[in-house]
Copies of this chain bind each other. A is one copy, B any other.
Amino acid sequence: MSKKWDDVQLFLVNVYEMGRSDPRQIIFAVKSGLALALVSILIFFKEPLSYMSQYSIWAILTVIVVFEFSIGATLSKGFNRALGTFSAAILALGIAKLSVWWAKDWHEFVVVISIFIAGSISSYVKLYPSMKPYEYGFRVFMLTFTIVLVSGTSHFSRTAYSRFLLVIVGAVICLVVNMCIYPIWSGEDLHRLVVKNFRGVATSLEECVKSYLQNVEYERIPSKILVYQATDDPLYSGYRAAVQSTSQEDTLLGFAIWEPPHGRYKMFKYPWGQFVKVSGALRHCAFMVMAMHGCILSEIQAPPELRVMFRNEIHRVGTEGAKVLCELGNKLEKLEKLSPGFDLLEKVHEAAEELQMLIDEKSYHFVHSDHWAGARRQKYSEDHDHLHGLKDEETMDSPHHLKRCHTLNRHVTNVSMNPSCFGNSEEEQSHWPSRMSVLEDAILNEREVRTYESACALSLANFTSSLIEFVARLHNLLNSFQELSDKAKFAEPSVHVL
């Protein structure tokens, strides 16, 4: 009992928090209550027109159904309602007149058959994907059509007429309350969502590079990540939100195109679709962040000494990449064009080229081959100074080969201590790719150890390739941003020094 009470308290606190974090929700609720109250006042006043009050439900129903969070949604639903009501009323009146005139005795039969046919056809057509936005219109059509036909022969036109009038009354109240008191726009929400996605991906990228360079390893991968559910991990949630927002964007887009020019979006046919495209291009970049995160989640991990070798360059690319995303996000938020003559990508390209060159220079570290052991040891001593960042200095003095083995052993121990890091269940299945580690203190096949090591080294190549491909994809993002800024006539940038 007290547990339930705690749940209720928690729920109330959460509900309160929701309103505090976004006061528009409270405003919407109050507006919605106001619209309902206005309608009921109107009905009380209209009492004298007694036959109207019988139909008062129509006005109330309209308010309840049409009053939506944003103006676009309200307009779109209102349009659906009007079109559905109007076409159904015309059609039903026609059929009713004809049925009375032609088939007097069978009149009810004709009515039921036509309801069946109209109901079936509109139920079928509304399933068609491109009819989705009008789904509600079809429902209204069926409702009006049926009501008008069954309401009895004598009052056909009175039903249709008073219904139409009251629907209009309800719709007008909705529109006036919704548009005149603190309007909430879907377009603005879409704009914010896209900006939020930019920031989320930028955060993910930064976190990802940071974690990678700090050799963060998941002791146990959160099972939610393994089944792609939401968690709090900022690295993961940033890009996940961007990848997941497609359906939300489509919904908002569907409403935004209904909205008249307003606020900062002073243009007819504002290119809201292009916002969704920019977000899509951002998603295309986010997939590379996802791939980098995959390297962190992977069982096969690059040894720390390799990461240290490329640390500065990787870090720079990550930082510059995140900067580009943040800058684009800011420009988008301010609806500002990019500064002409200033190449936003220059720095990140430079950084990526440097990283690429360093990789080329040091690429023999990715390779584990005894054929060149000599050449290697020589190069190794040259690179010695690069390794100063390494934390455990003692490994520095041991020969290269031993150090690698040390890394491997650490990893193997790790794995054998967490046999279930791929999930929570205790499985008998072989645990690949650390398969050999299952044998624990059996003699590790020399060949297998080497294979594993080379996979580890190549993991770094994988990470850097993804990072570089991320940078390459920024170009495409920039293009779609520029297309948007042209189409939507963004403001010229205020002069400022970066």
Residue ranges of A at the interface with B (Cβ–Cβ < 8 Å): 14-15, 18-19, 25-26, 28-30, 32-37, 39-41, 43-44, 53-54, 56-57, 60-61, 64-65, 69, 108, 111-113, 115-121, 123-125, 127-128, 139, 142-143, 146-147, 149-152, 225-229, 243-244, 246-247, 277-278, 280-281, 283-284, 287-288, 290-291, 294, 298-300, 343, 345-346, 349, 352-353, 356-357, 359-360, 363-364, 366-369, 371-372, 375, 379, 422-423, 425, 427, 429-433, 435, 447, 450-455, 458-459, 461-462, 464-466, 468-469, 471-472, 475-476, 478-480, 482-483
Q: Which residue from chain B places its CB closest to the CB of A478 in the assembled complex? A: B429
Q: How far is the CB of A480 from chain B (nearest CB, A)?
A: 7
Contact: A127 with B25, CB < 8 Å?
Answer: yes
Contact: B476 with A422, CB < 8 Å?
Answer: yes
Q: How far is the CB of A253 from chain B (nearest CB, A)?
A: 12
Contact: A142 with B36, CB < 8 Å?
Answer: yes
Q: How far is the CB of A439 from chain B (nearest CB, A)?
A: 14
Q: How far is the CB of A6 from chain B (nearest CB, A)?
A: 16
Q: Which residue from chain B places its CB closest to the CB of A30 in the assembled complex? A: B120
* Contact residues in B for A360 (Cβ distance below 8 Å): 368, 450-451, 453-455
* Contact residues in B for A19 (Cβ distance below 8 Å): 124
How far is A367 from B121 in the complex, measured between Cα atoms in Å?
66
Contact: B298 with A472, CB < 8 Å?
Answer: yes
Q: Which residue from chain B places its CB closest to the CB of A149 in the assembled complex? A: B40
How far is A352 from B448 in the complex, measured between Cα atoms in Å?
13
How far is A378 from B40 in the complex, measured between Cα atoms in Å?
92
Contact: A294 with B298, CB < 8 Å?
Answer: no
Contact: A139 with B466, CB < 8 Å?
Answer: no
Contact: A64 with B26, CB < 8 Å?
Answer: no
Q: Which residue from chain B places its CB closest to the CB of A483 in the assembled complex? A: B425
Other than A15-B125, A36-B119, A244-B246, give 9 A-B pairs with Cβ distance below 8 A: A29-B120, A60-B150, A228-B246, A353-B451, A360-B454, A363-B454, A364-B372, A423-B476, A458-B464
- With beta carbons under 8 angstroms apart, the residue of B14, B298, B375 that contacts A128 is B14
Q: List 12 A-B contacts (CB under 8 A).
A: A15-B124, A18-B127, A29-B121, A32-B123, A57-B147, A227-B278, A228-B281, A298-B472, A360-B451, A364-B369, A425-B483, A462-B466
Q: How far is the CB of A134 from chain B (nearest CB, A)?
A: 13
Q: Which residue from chain B places its CB closest to the CB of A283 in the assembled complex? A: B228
Q: Which residue from chain B places its CB closest to the CB of A39 in the assembled complex? A: B146
* Contact residues in B for A451 (Cβ distance below 8 Å): 353, 356-357, 360
Contact: A422 with B124, CB < 8 Å?
Answer: no
- With beta carbons under 8 angstroms apart, the residue of B111, B465, B468, B483 that contacts A461 is B465
Copies in the complex: 2
How far is A109 from B334 in the complex, measured between Cα atoms in Å?
47
Q: Which residue from chain B places its CB closest to the CB of A357 in the assembled complex? A: B451
The 8 residue pairs across chains A and B that have the minimum distance between CB atoms: A227-B280, A33-B120, A29-B124, A33-B119, A32-B123, A360-B454, A462-B465, A36-B119
How far is A345 from B428 in the complex, measured between Cα atoms in Å?
12
Given contacts A451-B353, A482-B425, contact A226 B281 (CB under 8 A): yes
Given contacts A128-B18, A478-B429, contact A299 B25 (CB under 8 A): no
Q: Which residue from chain B places its CB closest to the CB of A125 in the assembled complex? A: B15
Contact: B284 with A139, CB < 8 Å?
Answer: no
* Contact residues in B for A108 (Cβ distance below 8 Å): 44
Given contacts A294-B287, A360-B454, contact A429 B475 (CB under 8 A): yes
Contact: A147 with B371, CB < 8 Å?
Answer: no
* Contact residues in B for A69 (Cβ distance below 8 Å): 127
How far is A226 from B284 in the complex, measured between Cα atoms in Å?
6
How far is A112 from B113 in the complex, measured between Cα atoms in Å?
42
* Contact residues in B for A375 (Cβ distance below 8 Å): 371-372, 375
Given contacts A283-B228, A461-B462, A472-B299, contact A116 B37 (CB under 8 A): yes
How far is A108 from B46 in the complex, measured between Cα atoms in Å?
13
* Contact residues in B for A149 (Cβ distance below 8 Å): 40
Contact: A435 with B34, CB < 8 Å?
Answer: no
Contact: A379 with B368, CB < 8 Å?
Answer: no
Q: How far is the CB of A300 from chain B (nearest CB, A)?
A: 7
* Contact residues in B for A60 (Cβ distance below 8 Å): 143, 146-147, 150
- With beta carbons under 8 angstroms apart, the residue of B123, B353, B371 that contacts A29 is B123
Q: Which residue from chain B places its CB closest to the CB of A462 in the assembled complex? A: B465
Query: Of A25, A244, A461, which is in contact with the most chain B CB atoms at under 10 Å from its CB?
Result: A461
